[in-house]
Amino acid sequence: MSESKITPAGGFPCPGNCIRTHDKTCADKRAAERDSRYPHQRLLMRLSLLTFLALSCAAAELKVPPGVAVERGVEYTSIPHGKLAMDIARPKAPGKYPGIVMIHGGGFSGGTREGYLPMAIRLAQNGYVAATVSYRLTPIVQFPLPLHDVKAAVRFLRANAEKFDMDKGHMAAIGVSAGATWSQFLAVTRDMPQFEGNGAHREQSSSVDCAISFYGRSDMRRAYEGSRNAADALPPLLGGDRMNALDAHFRASPLNWVTPGSAPILAIHGTRDQNVPFEQSVWLVERMRGMGVEAELETVAEAGHGFKGADEERAFSRALDFLNRKLKPTLLETRRLLVNDHGPGGEILAIAWPSGRILWRRPNHRATEVSALANGNVLYIEDPKGVVTEIDPDQKVVWQYKTEKVTLASAQRLENGNTLLVDDAASRVFEVSLEGKVVWSVEKPEYKGMAMRRARRTSSGTTLVAVQVAGLLLELNAAGDVIRKLEFPKRLPAYAQPLSDGGMLIGLAAPGEVRRLDASGKTVATFAGGSSTARMAWTSGFTQTPEGGLIVSDYMGSRIVEFDAKGGVVHQLKNLAWSVTSVSLMR
């Protein structure tokens, strides 16, 4: 990674590509770049030397890894008095790679594309064709001309996909600060010809499949409050301040153009951003989800405008994960995962893991459990009021149990072919045969109203059952007697999975974690928890991976996280629209 860095920053450009102007060198670079694009004869001689020096310095410091090819100064469209160019980083290895348009920041009036080459090279190292583009800036132009430019850049890459080994069917946009506004626009104005402009390659689409917004503005009307630079940055772009150009502020706000056809967006934002308040990303994500469009928010606590160190690396990793899921889903779809949505959607889903692509879905009336069976079938509670269903790989019903006056909370297929169930309404654990006959039943009235949740049969013939509100895990013998009681005060246990060595895995809340207990009940390992980087809220469900890790659902955290055997995060889906109570790997 060190070879791809350029001073003064690595994955993200120098502050001059944001909005801070106290650094004289960065300010000179911005001025030189701007005036070289819009040559005024009176200033040309004075600024040409500055431009040459700035670009020569960047070129000298940039180190390109052996597996990456970089092409600089590739012209992509004509504008009055000149042309616009891009720098392209791509893998040298033969293949077809997803394309990314990268849009620099600078308060809409400055910044250079060169500052983003280090990030473009890192993306190329990860299998992307990344193009960092120049576009027209204020005060010479106003909205929507910069948007016309970046759309022309997308069209140029599609028109030249063969030349650059790019898969034009999979494209994304990444924007930082002011550039993030334009990346948002690329995502929300797909198939809106009024924003195309007069640039080249109009026969090509300017649509992107997803976009990433690093601390970008989404609502210009609310951009002044809490910002130390909006009063300077926005009026030149919009033809006046909010009082005198309110209509332009409305038109130039990406969130006002969100439709159900918009592309997914990942918004990454620091909570202490004094240039673009954190709420700008919150508003965008809320608007998109309200339209039924996928949107994710990565909150970087205490970070300002521009990331450094661990925050920078975290933001890049999060962006790369998002791109991989959206642009390379088939490369990542190594497994299939069953998900139980206990929320308003009320359904079970089969998804490709870890891309999150939905394979199929079925209603479950807001029940709580689904599980994959050894024969490839799926067992789930179809209706908590009394229906348990088994379906085959073609989703055809092959078995069903129906009863009445119950609140089913758990269903496990036993080795003998029977099904172990929990009726929370009666605090009852019972077993039914394939014919639907109750062959074993135990009631625990002392726990009525305390949320009896999932039950699991152990290899020794005992039964583990979680009593959530009481904070208890009970172990029952065949006679129904409690032979062991584990206490987890205020930790809301919902599910314990017995292990072959006599121990178990148990999910807890506040903080969310999965503990591995030995046969004596002693904790020997923990996934997530208070000391983990993946701070979870309520680990309501989990499933083991063949490698010894876990895939864990966070019921109150709206995410699913995969951990390796040592507790490290491998993959995660965040900001889900589902309230996931159980997950299960499909055979």
Give per-residue pLDDT as tens, 465-485.
999 999 999 999 999 999 999
Of 200-214, 252-266, 521-535, 560-574, minimum mean pLDDT range: 521-535
Exposure letters 537-559 (e unless 16+ CB within 10 A, then b): bbbbbbbebeeebbbbbbbebbb
Predicted local confidence at residue 61, as pLDDT: 67
Predicted local confidence at residue 13, as pLDDT: 54
Predicted local confidence at residue 494, as pLDDT: 93
Distance between CA atoms of 31 and 10, rounded to whole angstroms?
A: 22
Predicted local confidence at residue 58, as pLDDT: 45
| Cα angle 462, 552, 279; round to 5 | 145
Distance between CA atoms of 581 and 364, rounded to whole angstroms?
A: 12
**CATH code assigned to 2-331:** 3.40.50.1820
Q: What is the pTM of this model?
A: 0.65
Distance between CA atoms of 7 and 60, rounded to whole angstroms?
A: 11
Distance between CA atoms of 466 and 412, rounded to whole angstroms?
A: 14
Distance between CA atoms of 232 and 21, rounded to whole angstroms?
A: 12
Q: pLDDT by residue (tens digit) across 11-57?
A: 555 434 443 333 333 444 444 444 444 443 333 333 333 444 444 44
Asked whether residue 532 carries a pLDDT value surpassing 80, the answer given is no
Predicted local confidence at residue 329, as pLDDT: 74
Of 458-462, 525-529, 550-554, minimum mean pLDDT range: 525-529
Which is it for strands 166-176 and 210-214: parallel, antiparallel or unpaired? parallel
Cis peptide before 139 (omega within 30 of 0): yes
- CA 562 from chain center: how many Å? 14
Q: What is the mean pLDDT of residues 268-284?
A: 97
Exposure letters 117-139 (e unless 16+ CB within 10 A, then b): bbbbbbbbbebbbbbbbbbbbbe
Q: What is the mean pLDDT of residues 287-301?
A: 93
**56: which 2 tokens?**
């020569």
Q: What is the mean pLDDT of residues 65-80?
A: 95
Residue reference for tokens 């009631």: 443
Task: State the SS3 of 454-482.
Answer: EEEECCCCCEEEEECCCCEEEEECCCCCE
State the CB neighbour count (10 A cutoff) for residue 455. Answer: 24
Predicted local confidence at residue 12, as pLDDT: 55
Q: What is the mean pLDDT of residues 512-533?
A: 89
Asked whether residue 530 carries a pLDDT value surpassing 90, the answer given is no
Asked whether residue 268 carries a pLDDT value surpassing 70, the answer given is yes
pLDDT: which is higher, 18 or 505: 505
Q: Specify the CATH superfamily of domain 404-585.
A: YVTN repeat-like/Quinoprotein amine dehydrogenase (2.130.10.10)
Distance between CA atoms of 583 and 350, rounded to whole angstroms?
A: 10
Predicted local confidence at residue 473, as pLDDT: 97
pLDDT: which is higher, 466 or 567: 466
Asked whether residue 415 carries a pLDDT value surpassing 90, the answer given is yes
SS3 419: strand
- With contact defined as beta carbons under 8 Å apart, do 420 and 455 qualify? yes
Q: What is the mean pLDDT of residues 293-317?
A: 93
pLDDT > 90 fraction of the chain, expressed in percent and rounded: 81
Asked whether residue 512 carries a pLDDT value surpassing 70, the answer given is yes
Predicted local confidence at residue 11, as pLDDT: 52
Residue 217's Cβ-count burial label (10 Å; 0-12, 13-18, 19+) is buried
Predicted local confidence at residue 534, as pLDDT: 78
> Where do the structural domains in the chain lie, given as residue ranges?
2-331, 404-585
SS3 570: strand
Residue reference for tokens 């060169």: 114
Ramachandran category for residue 477: left, alpha or beta (phi over 0 → left; psi -120 to 50 → alpha)? beta
Predicted local confidence at residue 366, as pLDDT: 96
Distance between CA atoms of 264 and 192, rounded to whole angstroms?
A: 17
Q: What is the mean pLDDT of residues 568-580?
A: 88
Predicted local confidence at residue 5, as pLDDT: 33
Write phi, then psi, for 50 (nearest 5 degrees).
Answer: -60, -45
What does pLDDT average to over the chain?
89
Look at the alpha carbons of 180, 109, 11, 163 in this order and tell me if their dihedral is positive or negative. Answer: positive
